[in-house]
């Protein structure tokens, strides 16, 4: 049985039962009130008959007429009849059925103690019959059903069928409305899932349920969020695949050309093999960075963080890059305004890679004889700030927001070797540490990259003293385990 049918049947049964219970309760209350009113009316009529007989005994016919006229305007007073003598007529000349008079006489003879039918005699011995109309009735007559059309002569059994039919129709209609109201959003979500499974990643359903503002609308919003994340994930994968195929094409073409040269110029085989080894090294670096970037973007596993002293880590990165700076005839300096015990919650291997990427970029884009400065200071609002500045050509202002995007190469880097993944990796690492990274141009020339990392209030932590090679290996191992 489908969900709609189960909900419809359940609501129908509940509503019909509720209507029956309510109807029965209403009938029971009305019946109880009617019986109470009937008993009160009978008690009043008994007292009225007794008072009228007392007036008859005291004042004769005049006493009866006065009593009846006095009580005639009260409820129940018009039901008292007094039949005089042998002419079988009411003392006030009110119309009365002869059969009712005869039944009352017979009942009075058989039940002289009845408070509703009694016989009395005047001084001349003439008989007077006192009785209440409908004296034999023990309860009020059943009132006609309010659901019937007035004036429609239907037997009583049809009354019940009409009421029952009305209850069933109302129950079915209400159950259908309620069941449809619940299952309609589910059908909308089902159609949305079918479209999403068919590859339409732009499917959204919450706008179709915006008027509900209930739990099912919240479910539709969560569906849209899921579809949006899937769309972004697939777009990232397609984007990555496109750039990987583009970036791989050039080194593969160069390697193919080198193999051809080796065949044509065997005397230069050593030189060509060295170039081939260089291209293979570039491809290996590219694949490694692609793997790291992909796992940082798609992995839902939290990064392992621990209390980490920031300043010793920066000092280690700067020290490990001094040899490269000397080779490029550059000066790499570190300035700090924070204490040795300044802590962050971080992953040492990944952070080492992030700082190393930015410092190496600064050295690559700075001319010989220039200075690369690393400054560690207070970033305010419980944050530490690390700035890496160079004397390179800088980046066009309209390109600054894009330099942390994978494979994006600014105009100023057109002639520089690289994969375009270093800064993208750095941004993902900083984001995983709940920090920020951005860049600004310096005047008259140069670029500064700002790291903002949240502080960690821990009293004491062991400082790390691992070397650069160990850091790099640890980062690669952490990537492989992710």
Any idea what the CATH number is for the domain that residue 233 is in?
1.10.287
Cβ partners under 8 Å of residue 261, min gap 6: 268, 272
| Domain's final residue, options 298, 315, 343 | 298
Alpha carbons 101 and 194: distance in angstroms, whole number: 84
| Same domain flag for 279 and 343 | no
Contact 156, 4 (CB under 8 A): no
Average pLDDT over every residue of 286-309: 72
Q: Check whether 22 has a pLDDT greater than 70.
A: yes
Domain count of the fold of the chain: 3
Q: Check whether 416 has a pLDDT greater than 50.
A: yes
pTM: 0.48
Q: Does residue 220 lie within any of the structural domains?
A: yes
Average pLDDT over every residue of 284-303: 68
Q: Check whether 262 has a pLDDT greater than 80.
A: yes
Dump pLDDT digits (tens) for 159-204. 667 777 777 788 788 878 877 888 888 888 888 989 888 888 888 8
Bigger pLDDT: 269 vs 313: 313
| Same domain flag for 175 and 253 | no
CATH number reported for the structural domain that contains residue 351 in this entry: 3.30.565.10
Q: Residue 153: which pLDDT band, with cuts at 50, 70 and 90? A: very low
Q: Residue 478: which pLDDT band, with cuts at 50, 70 and 90? A: very low
Q: Residue 419: which pLDDT band, with cuts at 50, 70 and 90? A: low
Q: Does residue 203 lie within any of the structural domains?
A: no
| Same domain flag for 313 and 291 | no
Element spanning 308, H or E: strand 306-309
Alpha carbons 340 and 28: distance in angstroms, whole number: 87
Q: Check whether 148 has a pLDDT greater than 50.
A: no
Q: Check whether 374 has a pLDDT greater than 90.
A: yes
Alpha carbons 306 and 428: distance in angstroms, whole number: 18
Long-range pairs, 61-64, Cβ under 8 A, ≥24: 61/91, 61/122, 64/91, 64/128
Q: Check whether 286 has a pLDDT greater than 90.
A: no
- The residue among 406, 410, 397, 402 whose CA lies nearest residue 364 is 410
Bigger pLDDT: 310 vs 413: 310
For the chain, the average pLDDT equals: 78
Q: Does residue 207 lie within any of the structural domains?
A: no
| Same domain flag for 286 and 239 | yes
Q: Does residue 204 lie within any of the structural domains?
A: no
Q: Does residue 245 lie within any of the structural domains?
A: yes
Q: Residue 459: which pLDDT band, with cuts at 50, 70 and 90? A: very low
| Same domain flag for 232 and 320 | no
Q: Among residues of the chain, what percentage have pLDDT more than 90? A: 7
| Same domain flag for 345 and 366 | yes
| Domain's final residue, options 298, 314, 336 | 298
Q: Does residue 225 lie within any of the structural domains?
A: yes
Dump pLDDT digits (tens) for 45-101. 888 888 888 888 888 888 888 888 777 666 656 788 888 876 778 888 888 888 888
Q: Check whether 121 has a pLDDT greater than 50.
A: yes
**Parallel, antiparallel, or unpaired for β 331-336 and 371-378?**
parallel
Three-class DSSP category at 92? coil
Bigger pLDDT: 458 vs 130: 130
Alpha carbons 359 and 407: distance in angstroms, whole number: 19
| Same domain flag for 97 and 167 | yes
Dump pLDDT digits (tens) for 312-338. 999 999 998 888 888 888 899 999 988
Contact 209, 217 (CB under 8 A): yes
| Domain's final residue, options 254, 280, 298 | 298
Q: Check whether 221 has a pLDDT greater than 80.
A: yes
Alpha carbons 413 and 458: distance in angstroms, whole number: 41
Q: Residue 158: which pLDDT band, with cuts at 50, 70 and 90? A: low
| Same domain flag for 289 and 365 | no
Q: Does residue 442 lie within any of the structural domains?
A: yes
**Structural domain span for residue 316:** 306-481
Residue 467's pLDDT is what? 42
Contact 41, 48 (CB under 8 A): no
| Same domain flag for 293 and 314 | no
| Alpha-carbon torsion, ordered 412, 416, 418, 421, to 10 deg | -10
Q: Residue 450: which pLDDT band, with cuts at 50, 70 and 90? A: very high
| Same domain flag for 293 and 315 | no
Residue 34's pLDDT is what? 79
Contact 163, 26 (CB under 8 A): no
| Same domain flag for 241 and 349 | no
- Residue 3, CA distances (Å) to 183, 206, 403 in order: 8, 21, 53
Q: Among residues of the chain, what percentage have pLDDT more than 70? A: 79
Q: Check whether 465 has a pLDDT greater than 50.
A: no
Q: Does residue 205 lie within any of the structural domains?
A: no
| Same domain flag for 310 and 292 | no
Average pLDDT over every residue of 396-409: 77
């Amino acid at each position: 049985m489908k969900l709609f049918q189960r909900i419809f049947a359940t609501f129908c049964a509940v509503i019909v039962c509720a209507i029956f219970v309510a109807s029965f309760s209403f009938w029971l209350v009305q019946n109880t009130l009617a019986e109470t009113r009937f008993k009160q009316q009978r008690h009043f009529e008994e007292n009225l008959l007794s008072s009228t007989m007392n007036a008859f005994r005291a004042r004769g016919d005049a006493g009866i007429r006065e009593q009846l006229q006095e009580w005639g305007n009260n409820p129940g007073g018009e039901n008292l009849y007094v039949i005089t003598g042998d002419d079988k007529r009411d003392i006030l000349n009110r119309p009365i059925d002869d059969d009712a008079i005869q039944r009352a006489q017979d009942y009075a003879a058989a039940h002289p103690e009845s408070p509703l039918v009694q016989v009395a005699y005047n001084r001349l011995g003439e008989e007077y019959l006192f009785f209440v109309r409908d004296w034999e009735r023990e309860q009020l007559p059943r009132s006609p059903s309010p659901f019937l059309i007035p004036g429609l002569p239907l037997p009583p059994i049809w009354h019940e069928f009409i009421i029952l039919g009305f209850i069933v129709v109302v129950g079915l209609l209400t159950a259908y409305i309620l069941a449809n109201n619940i299952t309609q959003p589910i059908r909308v979500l089902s159609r949305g899932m079918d479209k999403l499974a068919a590859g339409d990643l732009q499917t959204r359903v919450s706008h179709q349920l915006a008027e509900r503002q209930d739990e099912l609308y919240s479910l539709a919003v969560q569906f849209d969020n899921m579809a949006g994340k899937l769309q972004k994930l697939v777009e990232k994968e397609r984007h990555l695949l496109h750039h990987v195929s583009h970036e791989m094409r050039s080194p593969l073409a160069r390697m193919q050309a080198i193999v051809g040269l080796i065949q044509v110029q065997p005397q230069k085989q050593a030189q060509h093999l060295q170039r081939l080894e260089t291209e293979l090294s570039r491809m290996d670096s590219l694949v490694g960075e692609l793997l790291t970037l992909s796992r940082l973007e798609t992995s839902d596993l939290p990064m392992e963080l621990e209390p980490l002293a920031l300043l010793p880590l920066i000092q280690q990165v700067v020290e490990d890059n001094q040899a490269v700076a000397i080779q490029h005839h550059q000066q790499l300096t570190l300035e700090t305004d924070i204490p040795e015990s300044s802590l962050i919650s971080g992953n040492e291997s990944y952070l080492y890679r992030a700082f190393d990427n930015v410092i190496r970029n600064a050295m690559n884009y700075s001319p010989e004889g220039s200075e690369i400065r690393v400054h560690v200071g207070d970033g305010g609002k419980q944050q530490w700030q690390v700035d890496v500045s160079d004397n390179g050509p800088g980046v066009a202002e309209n390109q600054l927001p894009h330099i942390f995007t994978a494979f994006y190469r600014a105009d100023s880097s057109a002639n520089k070797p690289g994969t375009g993944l270093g800064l993208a990796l750095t941004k993902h690492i900083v984001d995983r540490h709940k920090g920020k990274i951005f860049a600004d141009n310096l005047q008259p020339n140069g670029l500064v990259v700002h790291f903002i990392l949240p502080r960690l209030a821990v009293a004491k932590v062991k400082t790390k003293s691992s070397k650069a090679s160990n850091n790099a290996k640890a980062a690669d191992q952490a990537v492989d385990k992710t």
